Structure 1
């Protein structure tokens, strides 16, 4: 019964987020809005963490299973991925370096 309540709260936040996304004049993922709504509700303690903890842990424990369909779908594009592999890796590495530099610079500014 506890898991049903946990999933109901998570699903309600997702549905409200998707509803808000349809009202926005620009494209924005409803799942992100739902996640922000859940964060707000938990942070303000309008919803206690114990109400969603077990359901969230269950989802996290089985998260790898949720990525199997995505990985299987990518197998249809192996030749396309091989053609752009160098660009993909260089973009990911340059993004990582850029993020590290920006976060390091912000940290230095906050410390002084």
Structure 2
């Protein structure tokens, strides 16, 4: 019964995000809306991480499996990709470098903020 409840919660959040997407006057991905809704529910305490932990872990562990259909369907657009392969490679390389740089900067900032917080806590005691 626990598994059914967890799947039900995840599907309910997905369904609500689709409804919100349809209600918006502009285009916005339902998947992003779903992540925002789930984040808000977890932040406000409406949901606890234990309510979805097991099924969320399962989905994360098997995420690569869900990309197989998208990867296979790329074959249908091979002629389009062949004509723009240089641009595609350039975008992939640039976005990878930017992602690495932003991640490194974020980690560095987080470490700094945490060390300042620790210094303040030890200074107050």
Alignment TM-score, normalising by the size of structure 2: 0.73
1:19-67 Cα shifts (integer Å, max 9, x gaps): 1111111011122111110011112222110010001111112222211
Shift of residue 77, structure 1, vs aligned partner: 2.1
Shift of 1:97: 4.2
1:82 maps to what in 2? 82
Matched, 1:32 2:19: no
Q: Distance in 2 between matches of 1:29 and 1:11?
A: 16
Structure label with greater radius of gyration:
2
Shift of 1:98: 4.7
Hey, what's the Cα distance between the residues in 1 that align with 2:77 and 2:2?
Answer: 41
Tell me how far apart the structure 2 counterparts of residues 23 and 38 of structure 1 sit (CA, whole Å). Answer: 18
Count of aligned residue pairs for this structure pair:
109
Please give the secondary structure, in 2, of the residue aligned with 1:88: helix
Matches within 5 A, 1:53-68: 53-68=53-68
Give matches, 1:1-112, under 5 Å.
1-98=1-98, 100=101, 104=105
TM-superposed deviation, 1:72: 1.1
Unmatched 5+ stretches in structure 2:
114-125
Change (3 A) 1:63 1:96: closer
Which of structures 1 and 2 has the larger relative contact order (alpha carbons within 8 angstroms, sep 6+)?
A: 1
Give distance in 2, aligned partners of 1:30 and 1:98: 25
Q: CA RMSD in A?
A: 2.5
Q: Quick one: distance in 2 between partners of 1:97 and 1:55?
A: 32
Q: CA deviation at 1:69?
A: 0.9
Whole-angstrom CA distance in 2 between matches of 1:58 and 1:95: 28
